Structure 1
Amino acid sequence: MSETPDLSVIVHGANVQDHLPALLDTLDAHPLTGVEVIVAAVGDWAREAAERHTPAFTVLPLPDGAGDAAARAAGAARAAGRWLHFVHAKDGVPAGAPRTVAEHTADLPDTVDVLLFDHVRSTWRASGLPSPDGPRLARAGRAGLALDDHAALLSVTGLLGNRAVRAGFWRANERLLTTDDEPFAAHTALLLADRVACLPHPAYEDRRLRAESLPPVTPDRHYALIERYERLLDLSAGRPAVHAVLYDLMVRDCLRAHARAGMPDAVAREFFHRASMAARQHRPEGHRHRTGLEGVRRSLLEQDAHARYRTLQVANRTRRRARSAARSARHRAGTRLRALQYRRALAEPVDQHLAVFSAYWARGVACNPAATAAKLAELAPSVHPVWVVTAANAALLPPGTDHVVPGSRRYWEVLARAKYLVNNVNFPDAVVKRPGTVHLQTHHGTPLKRMGLDQMPYPAAARGLDFQALLERVDRWDFSISANSHSTRMWQRAYPSRHVSLDHGYPRNDVFYTAGAPEVRAVRERLGIAPGHRAILYAPTHRDYEAGWTPRLDLAALAERLGEDTVLLVRAHYFYENAASPLAGLRRTGRIIDVSSYDPVEDLCLAADALVTDYSSIMFDYANLDRPIVIHADDWETYRTTRGVYFDLMAEAPGPVARDQAELTEILTTDAWRDARAAKARAAFRRRFCEYDDGRAAERVVRRVFLGEDERTLPPVLPIEERTPAPSPEEATAS
């Protein structure tokens, strides 16, 4: 550790429900230069847990009963870092988070006093749940911001743990910030800050303890919510935008507490009365009531009309129950009718010439099912394909595509009678596997992240997944397509059943070997990419620990650094809706193209000179083209911990790895993205993960599944050194 650390992580509090040891183990597993850990340990249990980590950590023993404010103050007084991150002993820190925070604070000027970042949530029954803050932080941008211009940042969850504060700023305002009321301290830090910076990446884990394990909430603690907001509103005097946001937060939180906190009637009436007085006293001048039911609630609060408010609550609950009962009755009736229709159809003979296809939960003609269906039309035209497509996506189907809408009468009829059922996910639980029918599971990617039963130890990934029902669906599979031996092993492990693995390659990847220069030029022309321009496809994946898609790059800054001859094809939805945003002008010049809704994705791969991704399975498909791949892994430790992975991508990447935007920019503005070292890594990756993809995968699948040919008579997989991928854009332009 350096003599003057950049970041001091201050762990404070008692060893509540024995959560402290795991937190300290995580911090100790990733020691970092420039980061110090100070443990303000309250009581003997916390001290004993902390002392197991000396001398790596500094331990400050505090007596039993010392409050959170006293523990934070003790840690801050001992800290040597330029920035402070307060971590409560009951909470957690995602793996690698201190490094991420330290790297960002190191680049911040002294005018920035607070760095806000995202967090995940955990309860006694689940961990790694997303917070709603990521998109809000991303919309604000990353530069130093004045709170008065970005008052919505006050809506970020009020934790000290999801923000780092500059040490000098903390000490200058310690009198106000040293309080056991953590949300008050968290909001006050924002109110007092000169500038605020944002980092839309999770760097904290907020653990919500089971309410039944905590002391009962006293009336005074309920009333303290109102008192907190009144103090904050007093601090925001003379700042209209900030005051208005705080006022709305106060009214929202008071109404929520009244509805959800389970207060006794007398306490609820007094709470409502005090909240009413605060709402009237602090209402901003010219503040408009909201419309609809929420507006009625707020109006009744201001009128201190508790009896009428309770009547409204009862009426709403009664109405919701009635609507729910009616919906349930309609659903039961519809289910009975569909079940009857399905049973009747199951009594009919299996249609030997009918195949049902579906992809991505009935979104349209795509992926491996689409490539398989196309080859089926060529080799076995007597088999009639019917696609399952939602009503919303039906208008986007190619002309003449026979399709059914999920839940319709014909939908259940074709599912009951078709000999072949092909999907890259799964058909509904109610589907019956009839004797003589064939279920083909095509999958939709090579697994880096844990899948199937392997998700069980990762609650954020497995949320809502019924593993018994999953296994019953898997037991219907006859065949499972694989693109490489890694996938074959993982599918057998994640989806244990008697299905036969078709080690034939992914049909959707055939195009990477069958497309020629005309096809490459045509797709670039459709996308508006000028000849001679470098096109980089940026395709990040989903994070289970995020509530929505959060931009991980400042795309405008990246585009500026890459220059006018580079086009970014962005395969994701980002939060730059304001016409005045930096991206608006770049879109008009064609330097950033939103291809989030463009299909098929294989076209985008053909058009791109290089791929930038994080953990998306697109890297395995794109590797077939033998073109440069750059990995942007700014949150690898968090992703690996919350989602689970099958191998260490950092050690076996298909090209150079960037851990932040500066590294990514450096790679893309030099030859590092395509130099000899990158080519060597790509070759090893391609040999391992493009094992069976050679341009004839769809043919092998159709011959084996639909034509019943023997495995030994199928076209053999071409050795990788004998394959010729589609020409690169540079080669296509020259030809």
Structure 2
Amino acid sequence: MPRFSVVVPVHKVQGYLHACLDSVLGQSYRDIEVIAVDDRSPDGCGAILDAYAARDERVRVLHLPENVGLGRARNAGLPHASGDYLLFLDSDDTLTPGALRALADRLDETGDPDVLVFDYARTYWWGGTRRNVLAHVLADNAGAAFTAAERPEILDLLMVVWNKAYRRDFVEREGFAFPPGYYEDTPWTFPVMLSAERIATLDRICLYYRQRRQGSILSTTSRKHFDVHEQYARVFRFVDARPALAHWRPFLHAKMGEHCLDILSKPDRLPPADRGEFFRRTAEMFHAHRPEGVRVPADLRVLEGSYAGYVLRRQAGRAGRELGRRARQARTATAARAVRTRAALRRPLDPDLAVYSAFSHRGVLGDPAAIHRAAREIAPHIRSVWVLADEERAAGLPPDTEYVLLDSPGYRRAVERATYFVNNVNWSGALVKRPGSVHVHTHQGTPLKFMGADLLGKPGARHGFDVPQMLRRADRWDYSLVANRHSELVWERAFPCHFTSLRSGSPRNDVLVGAGPDSGRAVRARLGIPEGDTVVLYAPTRRDYRRDGLVERIDLARFAADLGEGRTLVVRLHPSLADGPARGLGLAELHRRGVLVDATDEPEVQEVLLAADVLVTDYSALMFDYANLDRPIVLHADDWDAFRASRGAYVDITAEAPGHVARSYRELAYLFDSGTWRDGEARRLRSAFRERYCEFDDGRAAERVVRALMLGEPVTERPPGPARLPAQAGGLGRLTTS
């Protein structure tokens, strides 16, 4: 008996069917059966299914003699299911890598509940990926199993069949089945969820819900949307037949009203001539099923009136939103004019005022933070003001840190008078560069991938970047900080502007230079890493050949297991991936279960580096920082050619690597299993890498910047000798150093 029976109804999806079946059959968890139901598909789906069944004994194909629709096609597959749990997968959707293993582990952890609800992400035909906005409901209920009455918020999730695993004997005992019609999920999911005695959640994206440009049944214009009324009538009949569920009637009454009004609000759902009839039927049903003594929510009271009143309310709402939009535009234009014409711009600069920002105003972080700390120590007369994006960012600021919010009156006063501006991201175009002000750009690390003007030859990589605007903002730089001569050459090419390169080293790396083996003890304790464990830090970067930047290169659960006892896997995602679906694809769940440690939210990446005994990365600039610690580095470069082709790289990092290079997961696992990751060759490669890319990092970079640029002291003499040109410079050889 398999653990999972995956029922896949199939109709007119031949372009998506291979991806769907491959996502199931290619899972590392193999204790499954696939019951594919060919719903008399007129295209090549039947032949595709037969081909899969011929080469994989886990696939069973049912060919229906006539087209019966999605719900009844699922019903046809149910009698053939023998697994402990049922999964219903639409044939244009896909499971995410590792999904079945995660489901099996969670079922074991929660003692085989009746229903396991998991997360999903919408994937759009234009390349975008968006996680379910209510994912927090799954995370908030990640403990023991519960009932819907105990946690009613579980019913706020999308009530569809495919985001749940169902215990088969529970489904058979209750006699659940799908009715015919458009909205067949409704009379399945509500009865199932209300009847389940034990529900569990999995805070992990297990399914990609494909948003097709055309072809979605529920997005077509048709009278078939009237089916929603009969489907909710089935739900009410189910509740009426079970007195113990009577208390759910007010909830279902409101859900029905919300669902029907949502259909009516979509301009592409109903023919215009049928919209009034749909409203009237909804209102009649809303009145017929209204529980006694229950107050109607304000947003549903429109169903107590006429269709004409509904139309007027909709029109008034649209008009109000348009007026609000115009008012916001007017305020923005007025504020911009005020900034440009403010008389204070003619007042003298304050020679003792410095304004700082880092990572688009996220907090006191990175190189600017290191310079700020050094300035408070050796130039205490200089007032430091930080720019933050919002008040929420101020919660974790160090004591006695002065800050202003972006575009606030305090911000405008600060930037109008400040002499020093320190940032690792370009300031906004509205900031006026005044004569006598000093703009220090720290960058965010040693460049490996193409930046600035070099992106003009990489149209895919510069998606979302306005390179000419980027260069206009860089025209305000007075100084560019560099940690090595490679960076000096790259920045002067990528940003052809009139700035001076300062061979200062990277201020953020001062804490890494000369750090001892116990330097990361505090952060290891904070992260809950067992005393004495070897910490393996995995820090992947984003990919420019994917629109959302996310490409899963490693099965994290497998990697953590393969590392073995005495080793803790710590993962830190690239900042651009931290708020997307990446953490929902298993990382958050594995962290919750203690399989690994998710350190993405640690504010200072240098502290995470101090805690690590070895860094595993692909093409992240963190390798250049980590090299200062003289600890092992392993590159996982299985898609180097694709990465370099899509983004461009200044160096062939696989040829000038800081340690051993793994071209596959198998090679990566071998490096750790054999101990090769820290052998003599690894030390030799690391030494040469440090010599090239850490040459100006001596632990005094922040002090050097403050003394040279704020106190006017002589700049520390630069190391002699010509700059070493990168191996893959892309034309950098034409540059010279001053």
Q: Same fold (TM over 0.5)?
A: yes
Give the aligned residue type for 2:386: W
CA pair 65-307 structure 1, distance change in 2 beyond 3 A: same
Do residues 117 (structure 1) and 123 (structure 2) align?
A: no
- Stretches of structure 1 that go unaligned for 5 or more consecutive residues are 563-567, 573-595, 630-639, 660-672, 717-735
Give the aligned residue type for 1:544: G
**1:359/1:425 contact within 8 Å kept:** yes
- The CA deviation at 1:298 is 1.8
Question: 178, 189, 203: which is aligned to 1:200?
Answer: 203
Give the aligned residue type for 1:18: G
**Residue deviations 1:607-663, cap 9 Å, x none?**
x8999999999997899789999xxxxxxxxxx9xxx9x999xxx999xxxx9xxxx
> Residue 327 of structure 1 aligns to a residue in which SS?
helix
Do residues 271 (structure 1) and 278 (structure 2) align?
A: yes
**1:145/1:197 contact within 8 Å kept:** yes
> Residue 10 of structure 1 aligns to a residue in which SS?
strand
- Paired with 2:23 and 2:408, the residues of 1 have a C-alpha distance of 51
- The CA deviation at 1:232 is 1.9
Question: 259, 262, 276: which is aligned to 2:265?
Answer: 259
- The CA deviation at 1:679 is 8.3
- The CA deviation at 1:479 is 6.9
CA pair 13-324 structure 1, distance change in 2 beyond 3 A: same
- The CA deviation at 1:218 is 5.7
- The CA deviation at 1:537 is 12
- Paired with 1:97 and 1:274, the residues of 2 have a C-alpha distance of 41
1:147-546 matches, within 5 Å, as 147-172=148-173, 176-177=177-178, 179=180, 181-184=183-186, 185-210=188-213, 217=220, 220-236=223-239, 237=242, 238-240=244-246, 242-262=248-268, 263-264=270-271, 266-290=273-297, 295=298, 297-301=299-303, 303-341=304-342, 345=345, 355-376=354-375, 385-389=384-388, 392=391, 405-408=405-408, 411=411, 415=415, 421-431=421-431, 440-442=440-442, 465-468=464-467, 471-472=470-471, 476=475, 497-498=495-496, 506-512=506-512, 542-545=578-581
The RMSD of aligned alpha carbons is: 6.1
**Residue deviations 1:244-303, cap 9 Å, x none?**
43333222222222223454555333222222233233334543444xxxx1x32231x2
**1:158/1:182 contact within 8 Å kept:** no
CA pair 34-471 structure 1, distance change in 2 beyond 3 A: farther
- Paired with 1:391 and 1:129, the residues of 2 have a C-alpha distance of 24
- The CA deviation at 1:444 is 5.6
Give the aligned residue type for 1:134: A
- Paired with 1:122 and 1:159, the residues of 2 have a C-alpha distance of 17
**1:704/1:711 contact within 8 Å kept:** no
- The CA deviation at 1:13 is 1.5
**1:341/1:413 contact within 8 Å kept:** no
**2:420/2:440 contact within 8 Å kept:** yes
Question: 679, 697, 702: which is aligned to 1:698?
Answer: 702
- Paired with 1:438 and 1:224, the residues of 2 have a C-alpha distance of 67
> Residue 185 of structure 2 aligns to a residue in which SS?
helix
Give the aligned residue type for 1:299: R
**1:16 corresponds to:** 13
**2:176/2:192 contact within 8 Å kept:** no
**1:635 corresponds to:** none
**2:591/2:598 contact within 8 Å kept:** no
> Residue 581 of structure 2 aligns to a residue in which SS?
coil
* Segment of structure 1 superposing worse, 277-286 or 171-180: 171-180
**2:423/2:442 contact within 8 Å kept:** yes
- The CA deviation at 1:687 is 7.9
- The CA deviation at 1:330 is 2.2
**1:93 corresponds to:** 95
CA pair 59-554 structure 1, distance change in 2 beyond 3 A: closer
**1:488/1:503 contact within 8 Å kept:** no
**1:115/1:165 contact within 8 Å kept:** yes
> Residue 357 of structure 1 aligns to a residue in which SS?
strand
**2:520/2:612 contact within 8 Å kept:** no
* Segment of structure 1 superposing worse, 470-479 or 316-325: 470-479
**2:30 corresponds to:** 33
**2:205/2:585 contact within 8 Å kept:** no
CA pair 420-187 structure 1, distance change in 2 beyond 3 A: same
CA pair 695-496 structure 1, distance change in 2 beyond 3 A: same
- Paired with 2:416 and 2:207, the residues of 1 have a C-alpha distance of 49
Give the aligned residue type for 2:358: A
**1:354/1:419 contact within 8 Å kept:** yes
**1:133 corresponds to:** 134
- The CA deviation at 1:519 is 10
> What TM-score do you get using the length of structure 2 for normalisation?
0.66
Identity among equivalent positions (%) equals 31
- The CA deviation at 1:545 is 1.9
> Residue 197 of structure 1 aligns to a residue in which SS?
strand
- Paired with 2:24 and 2:435, the residues of 1 have a C-alpha distance of 55
- The CA deviation at 1:75 is 4.1
- The CA deviation at 1:239 is 2.0
**2:161/2:189 contact within 8 Å kept:** yes
Aligned residues: 639
> Residue 282 of structure 2 aligns to a residue in which SS?
helix
Give the aligned residue type for 2:178: L
> Residue 251 of structure 2 aligns to a residue in which SS?
helix
Give the aligned residue type for 2:192: A
- Stretches of structure 2 that go unaligned for 5 or more consecutive residues are 536-567, 634-642, 666-671, 724-738
CA pair 142-409 structure 1, distance change in 2 beyond 3 A: closer
Give the aligned residue type for 1:552: A
- Paired with 2:233 and 2:433, the residues of 1 have a C-alpha distance of 63
**2:471/2:495 contact within 8 Å kept:** no
CA pair 125-413 structure 1, distance change in 2 beyond 3 A: same
**Residue deviations 1:577-633, cap 9 Å, x none?**
xxxxxxxxxxxxxxxxxxx8xx77877988x8999999999997899789999xxxx
> What TM-score do you get using the length of structure 1 for normalisation?
0.66
- The CA deviation at 1:358 is 0.7
Give the aligned residue type for 2:167: R
- Paired with 2:415 and 2:380, the residues of 1 have a C-alpha distance of 20
**Residue deviations 1:405-454, cap 9 Å, x none?**
43256745765786754223332244467899775444568999999979
**Residue deviations 1:693-722, cap 9 Å, x none?**
6634434656787765554279x9xxxxxx
- The CA deviation at 1:202 is 0.5
> Residue 200 of structure 1 aligns to a residue in which SS?
strand
